[in-house]
Each structure stands twice: as C-alpha cells, then as structure tokens.
Amino acid sequence: MTDNQLLLALYRDMRRIRSLEERVSEMFVRSETAGSMLHLSIGEESVAGVCRAMEAKDSFTTHHRGHGIFVARGAEPSRMLAEIAGKANGYCRGKGGSMHIADMGLGHLGANAIVGGGIAHAVGAALAYKRKKQKRVAVAFYGDGAMQQGILYESMNLAALWSLPVLFCCINNQYGMGTRVDRATANLAFDERARAFGLAGEIVDGSDVEQVHEAAERMLANARDGKPGLLVLTCYRFYGHARMDKSPYRDSAEEEQGRRRDPLQSARDKLIARKGAGAESLDALDAEIAAEMDNALEQAIAEHLPDIATMFEDVYAPDQPKPTPLRARLSAILSEMTR
Amino acid sequence: MSAVETTYREALRQALIDAMEQDPDIVVMGEEVGLYGGAYGVTKGMLEMFGPERILDTPISEPGFVGAAVGAAMSGLRPVVELMYVDFVGLVMDQLANQAAKIRYMFGGQIGVPMVLRSQGGTGRSAAAQHSQSLEAWMAHIPGLRVAMPATINDAYHLLRHALTLPDPVVFLEHKGLYTQKGMLDVSKPDGPWGKALVRRPGNDVTIVAYSKMVQESLIAADMLAAEGISAEVIDLRTLNPLDDATLVQSVRRTHRAIVVTEAHQTGGFSAELSARLHELCFDHLEEPVVRVAGEDIPIPVSPALERGSVPNAQLIAETGLWLVKRQAPGWAAE
Ligand SMILES: Cc1ncc(C[n+]2csc(CCOP(=O)(O)OP(=O)(O)O)c2C)c(N)n1
Ligand SMILES: [Mg+2]
C-alpha cells in the first residue's frame, strides 16, 4: 500500500466513525435510543489509525466512548445502532447498550462504563495469549480521565513485569466530563508515567491519523514481542460529554480552536494536496458512507425490542439454571397460604 | 418558617449550603461537584459560593479521594464526598468498609470518622448494568456505617442536615429518579427524628415497608388497594441504619400482614433483613408470611422495557397485596 492509499483507507475509516456517530445523535433526537448516556467519538476518529494497525486476531477493550473504535474494528453499523437502541438483534441482545457493546467474534472484549474498568482485562487477555503462544496483542483503549485511576498503574506494572503483549491506548480528548485534563493532574507527561514502569511511552498528535498509525504499527509490533507500551493520542472532544451535555464549562472560543484539530478534515486536505484523491471522489465516498449509515439507522429502528423473558437469560451460562423470576417466587409463597 | 415547594435536588443542595454556612469544617469533594455543578446538579453554583478550598473537584480516582476524606475526617474536617453513581462503590469499598467503618472500633474509641458519602442509585434512565444498581445492602451489612435513603423532599433536606452533625460515617443514598420530583420543604420542621421510620399512610389490613423511591410506588399501590377495599399502611424506613424495627413491629402486630418492597435484588438484599426481623418479632401476630417484592436477581438491562420489568412497581405491589389480603390471584399467578 502506498502512503496515499493508506491515508485514503484511514480517511474512509474515520468518515465511517463520524457518520455513524451522527446517526447515533439523530437516533437520540428521534427518541429511538435506550436512554441518553451516549458518548460520541467525534474529534477522535484518528483512533482508526490504531485500529487499522491491529491484526484481525488482536483483541481490545474500550471505555464508554467506544463506538468509533468498534466500527473501525469491523462492527456492523446496523447491529451497533440496534444495540444502542436496546433492540433484540443488537450486539448484546439489548442488554448492554452503548456503554457495554461487545463482540467476541471481532475481538471486542467489551466497552465499559466504569472508568478504567476494562484496562486490566486487556492485560489478562495478553497473559492468556502469551501463555498460549498465540502472538496476539490486546489493546486497552481508554480516556484521559482513566489516567488518574489507580488500576491503570497496577495494570501497567503487571504488563511490564510479565512482558505481556498489550498496548495501552489513551485517547486524550482533553476532558473527563467537565474536567479539563490539566485540572485532573499536575503532570501531563503521560508518556513518562509509562516509562516509570518500564513500558514504552509515546504521545502523538491525534489530529494526524498517519502519525497515529505509524506509532501504533511500531508499538503493536513491539508489544507482540513482549514489549508493552502506552500510546497517547492528543485529540479534542468536539461535543459534550454525553448527548445531553452542552459543555457550559468551556467557552466557545476554545471549542472553535479545538474543533480545528480535526483528524478527518486534515486527512482530506492532505489527500487532496498530495493528489491521493480529488475532492469530488472524496465527496462521492462521503455520500456512499452516509447512505450506508442511513440504511443502518433505518434498519436498527425497524428492528424489534427484546422479549421481556429474555432478561433472565445470560445471567449464567445457557445450560445453567436461570434466576427464579420474582413472580414465580411470589406464586410459590402465596399459593401455599391455606388459612 | 413555612413550607415551600421545591425539588429533591434543590432540597439536597439547600441542605449542603445551610450546613456549610454553619460549619466551616464541611468540605465537598468528588468528581464534577464544582465547575460542572454535580452530575445530577446537586452542587450547582456552590463552587462560586464557597470557593475551590471547600468545593473540591477531584480526578477520577475514587479510592484515593474517598480515602483522603477518611483521613480528613480524622483530622478536623467534615467531608461530604460525592460518589457519582453508587455502582462505583465497588472501587471504594475498602475505604468504606475496612477503614471508615472500623476506625473508631479498632482504635478503641479514640477517634471517629465524621464524613458523609453521598451517592445515588436506581433504575429509570436506561443507564444499564453499571449505572443503575441499588447496592444499599452492601453498606448496611457493615457495622459502623450509617445508611440513609430519603424518599421525600423534606427528608432529603433534613436527613442530610442531620447526617452532617453525626460523629460517624454516613452513607447517604439518593435515587436518580427522584431528583426532579417536586414536593414541600419546611426547613424548620423535619418529618420526624433521624432513625425513626414513619407511617406515610395509615391503614389496617396490610403493612407495606419501603424506602427511597419505592415509598412512592407503595403509596400508589395503597391507592390501588383502597379502590379494592383494602386499607394498606405504608411505612417509610428513611434510614437503614439506624433501623427502627419498633415502628414496623407495631404496625405489623396490628395489620397481621406485611409486604417489604425494595428496588434492590431480592437475594441477600435488605428486604431479607426486614422480613427476618418481622418474622422474628411478629411471629404470633402474622396471618401470612411476610412477602418480599424486590428487584429481579439479574443485572439491570439497558432496553427500557426490560429495565422497567426488572424492578417492582405499584401494580405488582398492589397485586401482591390483593392476593395476600383477599386471596385474589393476579394474572401471573402460577397454576
Ligand atoms: C469509576 C467511574 N468513575 C466515574 C464515572 C463517571 N464518568 C463517566 S465518563 C467520565 C469521564 C471520563 O473521562 P475520560 O476517561 O477522559 O473519557 P472521555 O469521556 O473523555 O472519553 C466520568 C467521570 C464512571 N463512569 N466510572
Ligand atoms: Mg477524556
């Protein structure tokens, strides 16, 4: 693949992320989502650079803002949107929703609504791959907020101590809810933290997807050889924390400045400047993706909701006894009443 | 002062402000409590009122800042820590259960930990399995922790005010489905003393015991039962520790029947404790077994209908009451 071919592929990945997230937003406006705890990855699409550098057999965990990562790892948009809508054919049968989307087939070990909750799982996955000599890498994706969570450092220490094939990937979008990253920590040199544990540590410009891809490729190769690392993508969260948040804690000048650090726009500009693609062909690509996502949205909306009885399934393995429903317990008590 | 109409959220906020104005040692700390005004808006505007020395935004480091609150409480401050969702208590359980709860006892009574951990739980927002739980039983199980769960606007204010005068750690659990509810607040008149359960609606045929949001469902159920000619008494526990079993016992010895209602899972839940006490203390007075109407023993699903179906509602409480008192079996009764 030439540089331009690669950039075009990354552009496509990133456009699909943005386009999907726009449909999530639209689905919310149409009151079709399960709740409003929807965290959009607009502004951090360059995570596609990491996703594309991973191999098919690699696995990953994500934080709550994981739609973009998952679609870049091959998720079917309609089934993602169906899950976000709480539909029966969603990736998690309408049980998990936006913050808990997962698909073992695609190596997605789970999105997590506990900040930092999924990081150690990637370390554990890496431990299993190492023991089974599978040459797979597990990637833990998480936000800058989780950089202040203790379990991250326990995880880094384990990864370095046991030389595990794991990549820690922090998407620093400058905010954890309303807290700008410099209000959460006195030292922003996150790469140093990794090095303190004996891991490789790098910070890259998240508005430049080529830079992200290059660093990820290199660090994934090292991780595969038992040299784990931390890769930090410096981005900007374009919109509110969740769908309802209007970001009153930051001013519009800052937002305007932040949104100029747009990985999608800069990839597009570069492609045109380097004659990797013309504006017209990119427009056509965008339109094709928009149609794909519109389709996915309508499909998800048309899907049916899960049958209520399914709520007792999946608490335990299918061949194990299910929890007894409350009404069955009440029936047993009340039908025993004789006096 | 007379009563004014306000919301649960506003009542909590007012309690914090009034307490902080009286006690300069109170500090509020937690994620997004300052600039953002609290994930559910309880501390809105308080950063401007009290400044960053007393309203501390913390990083996402729950074990760290809850542990720091414990140390600060041992050293002259009275911290109010906001844990954004009670589901995150898993992260801080060591600091709560092994540290805050035991320090007075282990150290032979030398020192206490006067802090309040505010959090909120419950379903209603499709917030899924890690943001919707009712975990009060975890904390009510630990000697040394007080646990309050206000159901009304007036209690939101007064129980929090009282918690902020206590010498020991208090876990103060709000419900995400109550914040925007309106009701009357009289800052000069508590509904009742701390530690006392209250009869929210008197009745003779069956006692319904509940706390937090389930009090409201129980009151609606009592209305439904009244339409069927059944007089239900509804008792609001208000605090799980201290636990006022005397008020429950008094009621059940009179009504001879009881339903215990919780949003939390049934198995190993606080409903089991209440049921056990009623059986022990009212054995000879009971016409029927004490029945628990509780959340299903499943994680909370995201899909709205499933989420609603996983926790009790007024309808289910009323159907159970009807069966218990009149032997009228509901549609879901097993053959
Ligand atoms: C343990 C825990 N603490 C707090 C929260 C509430 N919360 C959800 S997302 C979030 C901010 C996370 O910021 P970051 O890690 O930077 O991710 P981003 O939202 O920016 O993608 C917070 C505080 C949570 N879900 N889990
Ligand atoms: Mg962030």
Alpha carbon B250 to its chain centroid, in Å, reads: 22
Cis previous bond, B242, omega within 30: yes
| CB A16, CB A42: distance < 8 Å | no
Asked if residue A114 has pLDDT above 90, the reply is yes
Q: Which of B185, B217, B245 is the last residue of a domain?
A: B185
**Cα–ligand 2 centroid distance for B85 (angstroms):** 18
Q: Is B191 domain-assigned? A: no
In a domain? residue B190: no
Among B185, B207, B232, the domain-final residue is B185
Per the structure, the count of domains in chain B is 2
CATH number of the structural domain spanning residue B20: 3.40.50.970
In a domain, B177, yes or no: yes
The whole-angstrom distance between residue A97's C-alpha and the CA centroid of its chain comes to 13
Domain boundaries, chain A: 3-307
The predicted pLDDT at position B254 comes to 98
Same domain membership, residue B152 and residue B211: no
Reported as a pLDDT band with limits 50, 70 and 90, residue A178 is very high
Same domain, B232 and B146: no
Pairing of strands B146-148, B239-241: antiparallel
Q: Which of A206, A221, A214, A169 is nearest to A191 (CA)?
A: A169
Same domain, B178 and B269: no
Amino acid B187: pLDDT: 98
| Residue that terminates a domain, selected from B185, B207, B234 | B185
Residues B300 and B261 in one domain: yes
- pLDDT at site A336: 86
Query: Residues with Cβ within 5 Å of ion ligand 2?
Result: A 143-144, 173, 175-176
CA dist B207 and B222 (Å) reads: 10
**What's the confidence (pLDDT) of residue B335?**
60
CB contact under 8 A, B296 and A86: no
With tokens 């074990």, the residue in question is: B63
Per-residue pLDDT tens digits for A56-99: 999 999 999 999 999 999 999 999 999 999 999 999 999 999 99
Residue A337: is its pLDDT beyond 90? Answer: no
Q: Angle at which helices A150-161 and A119-131 pack, to 10 degrees?
A: 10
List the one residue out of B150, B297, B274, B285 whose CA is nearest residue B213. B150
pLDDT at A258 over 70: yes
Spatial CB neighbours of A2, under 8 Å, sequence gap ≥ 6: none
What share of residues in chain B are helix, strand, coil (percent, to 5)? 40, 20, 40
> Are B166 and B233 part of one and the same domain?
no
Q: Using a 6 Å CB cutoff, which residues line ligand 1?
A: A 39, 63-65, 113-115, 143-146, 173, 175-177, 237, 241; B 31, 60, 62, 84, 88, 91
- Counting as low any pLDDT under 50, the low residues of chain B are none
Which of A142, A127, A132 has its CA nearest to residue A226?
A: A127
User: How far is A271 from chain B, CA to nearest CA, in Å?
Assistant: 39
Residue B105 shares a structural domain with residue B10: yes
In angstroms, what separates the C-alpha of B298 from chain A's closest C-alpha? 6
Give the number of other Cβ atoms within 10 Å of residue B49's Cβ: 13
Q: Does some domain include residue B335?
A: no
Which CATH number do you get for residue B251? Answer: 3.40.50.920
Residue A321 in contact with partner chain B when CB distance is under 8 A: no
Query: Residue B334 and residue A328: Cβ atoms within 8 Å?
Result: yes
Q: What is the pLDDT of residue A124?
A: 98
Residues of B in contact with A310 (CB under 8 A): 306
C-alpha atoms less than 13 angstroms from C-alpha of B228 in its C-beta half-sphere: 21
Average pLDDT for chain A: 97
Domain that holds residue B203: 198-330
Asked whether the beta carbons of A144 and A176 are under 8 A apart, the reply is yes
How far CA A80 is from CA of A27, A63, A149, B334, in Å, comes to 12, 15, 28, 38
Write out pLDDT tens, residues A267-291: 999 999 999 999 999 999 999 999 9
How many beta carbons lie within 10 A of that of residue A291, not counting itself? 11
Q: Is B13 exposed, middle or buried (0-12, 13-18, 19+ CB in 10 A)?
A: buried
Mutation target among A83, A92, A179 for the B interface, most CBs of B within 10 A: A179
Question: Do B40 and B136 share a structural domain?
Answer: yes
* Distance separating alpha carbons of residues B246 and B237, to the nearest angstrom: 11
Do B51 and B30 share a structural domain?
yes
Same domain, B24 and B158: yes
B233, β-bridge pairs: B207
Q: With b meaning 16 or more CB within 10 Å and e meaning fewer, what string describes B67-104?
A: bbbbebbbeebbbbbbbbbbbbbebbbebbbebbbbbb
CB–CB of B312 and A324 under 8 A?
no
Do residues B177 and B215 both lie within one domain?
Answer: no
Note whether B86 and B210 are same-domain residues: no
Tell me the CATH architecture of domain A3-307.
3-Layer(aba) Sandwich (3.40)
The pLDDT of residue A105 is above 80: yes
Check residue B116 and report its DSSP letter: E
Which pLDDT belongs to residue A338?
63
- Atom index in ligand 1 nearest the CA of residue A143 equals 15
Give the percent of chain B with pLDDT over 90.
99
Alpha carbons A93 and A72: distance in angstroms, whole number: 21
Please indicate, yes or no, whether residues B145 and B64 belong to a single structural domain of this protein.
yes
pLDDT digits (tens, 9 = 90+) for A4-59: 999 999 999 999 999 999 999 999 999 999 999 999 999 999 999 999 999 999 99
Distances (CA, A) of B48 to A156, B52, B56: 38, 8, 12
Q: What is the pLDDT of residue B110?
A: 98
